[in-house]
Structure 1
């Protein structure tokens, strides 16, 4: 289970909206001053807060600190779909066009069509599993003392 801490912003039936603070491992890396990844992260993450709809079967209050999580299998499965399916479509269509002895521009067009078909397949698969609770984050536990801190602040 991949876990993250957050604060509840809104409550709705069967779910809550949680604000999380994105953390980067760049803060603890010794090479961050000369690293392109750290620079890209700094530029891309103007807002370090994320808002996530999280499923829950318990009642919560606004301001509660909670731990949310998503199963590793959901992340691995999603990564395979997002990265491998479009890439497989690209290569499959390019190799098929080459096997048909098409000219190079047509091989490039076929590769692009395969990539687009792969991306469309990923989108359809994502819509099919959009309501599946196995692929959505859930509230795992409430952190102790979060209500007293929220009430006094």
Structure 2
């Protein structure tokens, strides 16, 4: 489980809005100096707002500004990365090869590749929209380094 800390910015009856600043991975990555994400985080203080389910806990136990820990299973991160990077790439290659084997000229083959890339991106976006409320893919509150299980 990947652990990230965040600050509570809003409280709802069934969940918390948490502001995170991604620093945990940037400190341990080998490409630290050549990474655009690390550079943006340093200059812009890039923050992300995440909604976290309370999982049956009382919202009165939390206060705005409190720092909490969130956990995300490694498999979710790995599978999400594969989906986001490989689906558009594979659709670009498939569309380019299909156009090439169909005898299209260089310009049409390039256009087919770009359309394949966009189609792959649309497919990833659709998949993210369909699974946005899947509790298995959401971050969980971590208390004492033990993730809270959902019923």
TM-score, normalising length: structure 1: 0.78
Q: Name the CA distance, whole Å, in 2 between partners of 1:140 and 1:79.
A: 23
Q: Write 1 or 2 for the structure with the bigger share of helix.
A: 1
Cα distance, 1:50 vs structure 2 = 3.3
Q: Which residue of 1 aligns with 2:18?
A: 18
Structure 1 residue 51: Cα displacement: 2.5
1:64 to 1:120, Cα distance in 2 relative to 1, 3 A? same
The offset of 1:142, in angstroms, is 6.6
- What's the CA shift for 1:88? 0.5
Structure 1 gaps, min length 5? 144-153
Give, in angstroms, the shift of residue 71 of structure 1.
1.1
Q: Specify the alignment match of 1:55 in structure 2.
A: 53
**C-alpha distance in 2, partners of 1:81/1:122?**
7
Query: Structure 2, unaligned stretches of length 5 or more?
Result: 146-151
Partners in 1 of 2:118 and 2:21 — Cα distance? 33
Q: State how 1:9-88 maps to structure 2 within 5 Å.
A: 9-23=9-23, 24-25=26-27, 35-37=33-35, 41-42=38-39, 44-45=40-41, 46-57=44-55, 58-59=57-58, 60-62=61-63, 63-88=65-90
* Secondary structure at 2:35 match in 1: helix
Deviation above 4 Å: which 4+ runs of structure 1?
A: none
Larger radius of gyration: 1
Deviation readout 1:97-141 (Å, 9 max, x if unpaired): 111111111100110111111011001101000111111111111
2-side partners of 1:110 and 1:91: how far apart?
9
The Cα RMSD (Å) is 2.5
TM-score (norm 2): 0.79
Aligned partners of 2:127, 2:7: CA distance in 1, in Å?
30
